[in-house]
Chain A
Amino acid sequence: MDTLEKAQQAAHPTTRDYLKVGVTLFVLTVAEVVAIYLGLPRALLAAVLVVLSAWKFLLVAQFFMHLKFDSRIYAGFFAVGIVLAVLITLAVTVIIL
């Protein structure tokens, strides 16, 4: 095993870490479903759901997709895609509404 592989294995999540992320994703999904039946004001509920969803998104991207541990170049390309996706969202919304 060379130096980089050792470094990568040290930096990458362990099986235990992956299981923790899996459990967290499960809990966040349950929290999302419970939240919609709590009778919260609509604006607050929408904010809660978006935050929980973004949290899940980031967990998968950071740990399962290794963005937290891999070269930042990958994160850069993904970020460009997300920024353009947001711009498309705004553009489509403005055009249609």
Chain B
Amino acid sequence: MSHASAHAAGHVEVHQEAHAHHHHTSLGIPNQKLGTWIFIASESMFFAALITTYMVYRYRSVVGPHPDEVVNIPLTTVSTFILLMSSLTMALGVSAAHRGEMRQVGKFLAITILGGLGFLVIQFYEWWHLAHDFGLTWRTNIFGSIFYILTGFHKAHVIAGMVWLAVIAISSFRGTLRKEHAVNVDVAGLYWHFVDVVWIVIFTLVFLLTEAGV
């Protein structure tokens, strides 16, 4: 047996020992994580289709308002910052789970949920602002349609993530979350970070490039 294959076999063996209580794929990695990554891969395609449709149709409206008339960079920047920092607290929560500090997990997840809530409050305010002050609804023009669909689907993902994190946080505060459940925190974290990276792309393509006139 070569050194590389011996090393690989040893790695798989040790990995299996460490996660003996989890279901594993034949590759020696947890099913939950592999499944979550495959889900994330499919979600990448989903959002790529929405973002591309937005980019292609954004300036094809016959009637206004048009994107460059309505984007609010300061407000969106604040919400972006809040979402980015919620990813930081999520990462700290996952790290705490791997250390076995399960009470800390609940605290970090609670802060993450608050971050998600802050993001949503600002985003819904922006929707209200667009509808109330610019008369832009999803029926106004093609820009309104795809803008609300794109950002709406992202909001729905944030809400789903908050519910997921809340379930884990409650489990943590009740004392039923144990170190062997760390992989559950891990996959919830992966989902939350994915929602964050999608927003990183949306923030640049939908807001910053529009403000820059690109």
Q: Which A residues lie at the B interface, using CB under 8 A?
A: 2-5, 7-9, 12-13, 15, 18-19, 21-22, 25-26, 29, 32-33, 35-36, 42, 45-46, 49-50, 52-53, 56-57, 60-61, 63-65, 70-71, 73-74, 77-78, 80-82, 84-86, 88-89, 92-93, 96-97
Q: Are A97 and B190 in contact (CB under 8 A)?
A: no
Q: How far is the CB of B36 from chain A (nearest CB, A)?
A: 9
Interface residues of B in 61-91 (CB under 8 A from A): 73, 77, 80-81, 84-85, 87-88, 90-91
Q: Which residue of A lies closest to B27 (CB)?
A: A73
Tell yes or no: B1 within 8 A of A by CB.
no
Q: Is the interface of B mostly helix, strand, loop or mixed?
A: helix
Q: Are A4 and B88 in contact (CB under 8 A)?
A: no
Cβ-defined partner of A64 (8 Å) among B38, B73, B87: B87
Q: How far is the CB of A56 from chain B (nearest CB, A)?
A: 5
A85 and B73 alpha carbons, distance in the complex (Å): 27
Tell yes or no: B211 within 8 A of A by CB.
yes
Interface stretch among B11-19, B148-156, B167-175?
A: B11-19
Cβ-defined partner of A63 (8 Å) among B41, B45, B84, B91: B91
Q: Are B48 and A33 in contact (CB under 8 A)?
A: no
Tell yes or no: B176 within 8 A of A by CB.
no
Q: Are A19 and B88 in contact (CB under 8 A)?
A: yes
A80 and B88 alpha carbons, distance in the complex (Å): 26
Cβ-defined partner of B37 (8 Å) among A26, A35, A78, A84: A78
Q: Which residue of B lies closest to A92 (CB)?
A: B52
Cβ-defined partner of B17 (8 Å) among A4, A13, A52, A63: A4
Q: Are A29 and B90 in contact (CB under 8 A)?
A: no
Q: Are B209 and A46 in contact (CB under 8 A)?
A: yes
